[in-house]
Each structure stands twice: as structure tokens, then as C-alpha cells.
Amino acid sequence: MQWIHSSLLLFLIFYSSSWGKPNGFSWSRTAGKYTDLFMGKKKIARYVHERMVPSDRERTYKPFHHVYDDKGENFLTKGPGGKYSHHRGIYFGFSKCSALDGAGNKVSVDTWHCKRGYQTHEKFISQVVDDQHARHTVEIAWRVDDGTIFATEARTLVFRFDPKQRLQIDFQSILTSEQGEITLDGDPQHAGFQFRASNEVYEKSATQTFYVRPGEGKDKKGATKNWPKDQTMTNLFWKGQGIVVGGKKYFTLYLDHPSNPKPSFYSERDYGRFGSYFKTKIKPNSPLRVQYRLDIGAGELLAEECEKRSQIFTGSKNWK
């Protein structure tokens, strides 16, 4: 009887940290550190959610998501350290946030570099899988340096593979003020929703990075465009990035939904960071809602295919 109780306990412990079918999507959590997404036995993505440690601030000052390469062995995205340590895989923040500290003083908070503020994972709101998708929603606190929470985010990521086995990641965020009206601002290089490729791109293959843009197509390797120098980098529905990691070509298509705040301003770097930012204000009864999609896979996509995938995304249903 004791053996049965022990076996049941072990089963419940395992089931509480791992969800899904043997050959489908499943989640596996390492408590207090990270949660991995698997497809069968292959790693697909990782949510890094270790609590901020003051003595190890740089490594732990914000939660983010990694994406694995097509073999599920190494990260396609960047973590702490390397060229610009604050760049972390798939991440969201603003370098200029208005807020009040614990004493009621007005302060400017930076949840991008996390020098005058930081983000903390608070809890898992939901985490599920089915035959076609994996989804989780997490609560993230945006904090002043003294620990005061000035905004609370519900961040949802949905993972699926398309018929061509490209990984599609839908990023959805609802950011609510805890302090009245808050301004979110920055610039295209230091705010918004961004993707940063592995630091290996900076170290070994930046000269092979290229971008594909609406109305322009594929640019030459190593060439980049950034607002405000390039005024055309405004209000784009999509942008594609080609990189080389582990000697293999990968292509990430960044899709910006028209319901997101506008104007939006775009930035790109040959070392593998790209994305967009906007300026907005939030209130307790008027949160910020954004949605993006990252379409990631080996090889590359032509501009026509990027446009087609953008039209599919922008025609999808909004906020269920």
C-alpha cells in the first residue's frame, strides 16, 4: 500500500511539471529557473523566469523567451552576456517609463536596459497544450528599482508549426498601469517588441545577415535601415531577417498587427537584433494591448511569401 502511495505521489509531481502527449507539445518546468517547450523529445523554446537576484542583477533582471535551433540542441536566440547583455531572445520593454517610486516621487524607469527598473515573473496564469498548439500566459511585474510595481503585464505566447514546419510564435501582451497614467517611450533601438539572434551572429556571421522589407525585397548582406535616418522604416506590417547560426541559414519574419499603437518605428542590426517601438500611455482602465507574430525556420522566405503570411496574420481574429 505504501508503494502505491509513493508511486502516485511521484506521478503527481511529474505531471505537475510536465504537460502534453509523448509525440506532441509538452511543457517541462524547472522551478524558479525556466520552463522548456518540447515537441516530442526535441526542445522548441524556453521561458526564462528566474527571480531577480540583486547580487546577480544583470543575468536575472527580466524574463524572456529563447528559441532553439531546428535540431533542438542550441539556442537560436541570445541570453545574458555577449554584445549588449540586455538583449534577450524575444523580449518586450521600454527605456523611458514614467512611474512613481515607493515614496511617491516621479521617476523615469528603464525596463529595457533594466538600470533604473526591472521586470519579474510573478506567476503562471495558464499553461496548456493540444494537438496543434502550445500556449502559456504569465504575469510579469514591471518595477521601479526600489521594488514598487508600477505596471502589471499578462504576456501570452502561442506556439505552432505550419505545414512547412516553420515555427510560428504569437506574442500577445496586456500591460496595465498600477499608478494612474503612465507614459511608455524610448526609441527604435531601445524599446518595444524585439527579437535578438544568438550572439554567434555578432561573433562570426554578421556579414551574412540580410533583411527583406515590404516594397523593397531582399537587401544586400550586411546592409541595415533604421528610423529616423530612414524615414521609410515606419508603420511596416512585416520585416524579414536572414542570419547564419551553427553554419546554417535561418529566417525570422516579424509580423506587426495593425491594431498595435501607431506610428511604429523600426530598427535593424547586422548582429541580429530587429523590431519596432511606439510611444503610448496606459491607465488602470485603459491597458496597452499588442500582438505580434514571429515566423521562424531554416532557409529563407521571398518578399512575396512574407507579404502573404502578413496578410494571413492581419486577417486573423483579434483578442479572444
Answer whether residue 128 is part of any domain.
yes
Does residue 318 carry a pLDDT above 80? no
Angle at 189 between CA 188 and CA 191, to 5 degrees: 70
State what percent of residues in the chain have pLDDT above 70.
Answer: 91
What are the start-end ranges of the H helices in the chain?
A: 2-17, 57-60, 199-200, 303-314
Q: Which domain holds residue 144?
A: 93-314
Q: What is the pLDDT of residue 1?
A: 42
CB 67 within 8 A of CB 76: yes
In a domain, residue 97? The reply is yes
**Cα–Cα distance between 141 and 158 in angstroms, integer?**
20
Give a yes or no: residue 114 inside a domain: yes
Q: How many CA atoms lie within 13 A of 142 on its CB side?
A: 30
pLDDT of 131 reads 81
210 falls within a domain: yes
C-alpha radius of gyration, the chain, whole number: 20
Three-state DSSP state, 16: helix
Write out pLDDT tens, residues 135-189.
999 999 999 999 999 999 999 999 999 999 999 999 999 999 999 999 999 999 9
Domain count, the chain: 1
Q: Extract the C-alpha cell encoding 289.
A: 494591448
Work out the burial of residue 209: count CB atoms within 10 Å of its CB; fewer than 13 is exposed, 13-18 middle, 19 or more buried.
Answer: buried
Q: Report the alpha-carbon distance of residue 169 to residue 58 in Å, rounded.
A: 26
Is pTM beyond 0.75 here? yes
DSSP state of 206: G
Residues 226-236: pLDDT tens digits?
999 999 999 99
In a domain, 122, yes or no: yes
Residue 216 lies in a domain: yes
Instruction: Specify if 176 maps to a domain.
Output: yes
d(CA 63, CA 89) in angstroms, rounded, equals: 10
Burial environment of residue 267 by CB neighbours within 10 A (0 to 12, 13 to 18, 19 or more): buried
Examine residue 63 and state whether it is found in any structural domain, yes or no.
Answer: no
